[in-house]
Structure 1
Amino acid sequence: MADRYRLTSVDTVTEEGAWAFTVRDEHDDTASYFLVPCEDDDRPPVQAWVNRCTHEAQRLYREDVGAVTREGGVVCPKHGSMFDTCSGHCDNGDAADTTLPSVDVDVEDGQVYLVDDDVRYLYDGLPNDDGDDDGSSSTSHLQF
């Protein structure tokens, strides 16, 4: 069984709409993930997804705006692809027919725990911007 690390509460994720954290993965790389509410009765009330569009290295969660969600999906700010908050699957845009990688979380008594054996919690929030993504630039004209 994996070690458990308390990340935050379900209430915090629900109130803020999303919540980000950074881990060290099995390759000793730093990676960011974010939690979003899931309204599917067959799944836990929050899910954890990698903070990167499957189409290209574009952050889905940003410190200044969090994650843009609409109609049960997380919207990529660059091309508008929308990933289901509960399954991570995308069925539109440039990322169509892909699914966001996840990390295992568990919810108990309203608290969210990281329980994935392949990652180690580092800290709340995102890593410093290292220039690997496009920052706030966008080729789309989406407005939210």
Structure 2
Amino acid sequence: MPTQLTTVETVHEAGSWLFTATDAYGSDEEILLVPCEDGVQAWINRCTHEAQRFDTGRGAPMREGQLICPKHGSLFDACSGECDNGEAAGTTLPDVSVAVTNGQVYLTDDDFTFQHEGGLDEDDGPSSTSHIGF
């Protein structure tokens, strides 16, 4: 059953909208909604080159309809997910199925279950194996 996420207007006004969902394997993933001319598109929130997060909780860096990898500067078309420059050239972002009905955005991808708005909690992220304390 589709899950209502937000509105197209909210995504367009904010420039992006981040949420967390659990994938078919039980892992939590950050998913990024970005504005497109005909609505919105959803992508896994990481660059294809080194799994660098686009949105770290302050909105996704975008310029002229392109997502910018904050680590190496690769540019991804926000609506097609394709990258034709930088370290990630020749790759395409993994998409997540969403639908728009009456201005509302719904998660329709059967491989994901909505958890909450925003990114992963810090406690759920990668752990450090270092024993050094600061």
Give TM-score, length-normalised by structure 1. Answer: 0.84
State the SS of the aligned residue for 1:89.
Answer: coil
Structure whose alpha-carbon radius of gyration is higher: 2
Letter of the 1:97 counterpart: G
Identify the residue that residue 110 of structure 2 maps to in structure 1. 117
The amino acid across from 2:93 in the alignment is: L
- Tell me whether 1:93 sits opposite 2:78 in the alignment: no
Shift of 1:72: 1.1
**Matched residue pairs, number?**
125
Match of 1:31 in 2: 29
Report the counterpart of residue 41 of structure 2 in structure 1: 47
State which of 5, 8, 11 in structure 2 corresponds to 1:7: 5
Cα separation, 2, equivalents of 1:72 and 1:119: 26
- Extract unaligned runs of 5+ from structure 2: 128-134
The one-character-per-residue Cα deviations of 1:13-58 (angstroms, maximum 9, x if unpaired) are: 000000000000011101000100012xxxx410000001000121
Q: Does 1:67 align with 2:68?
A: no
Separation of aligned partners in 2, 1:47 and 1:55: 20
Q: How far apart, in 2, do the equivalents of 1:46 and 1:29 lie?
A: 24
Q: CA RMSD in A?
A: 1.0
Q: In 2, distance between residues paired with 1:27 and 1:60?
A: 23
1:21 to 2, 6, 19: 19
Q: Which amino acid aligns with 2:104?
A: Q
Percent identical pairs in the alignment equals 54
Structure-2 residue corresponding to 1:141: none
How many Å separate the matches in 1 of 2:104 and 2:56?
23
Mark the runs of 5 or more structure 1 residues left unpaired by the alignment. Answer: 133-144
Match for 2:7: what amino acid?
S
Displacement after TM superposition at 1:131 (Å): 3.9
Please report the TM-score for the alignment, with normalisation by the length of structure 2.
Answer: 0.90
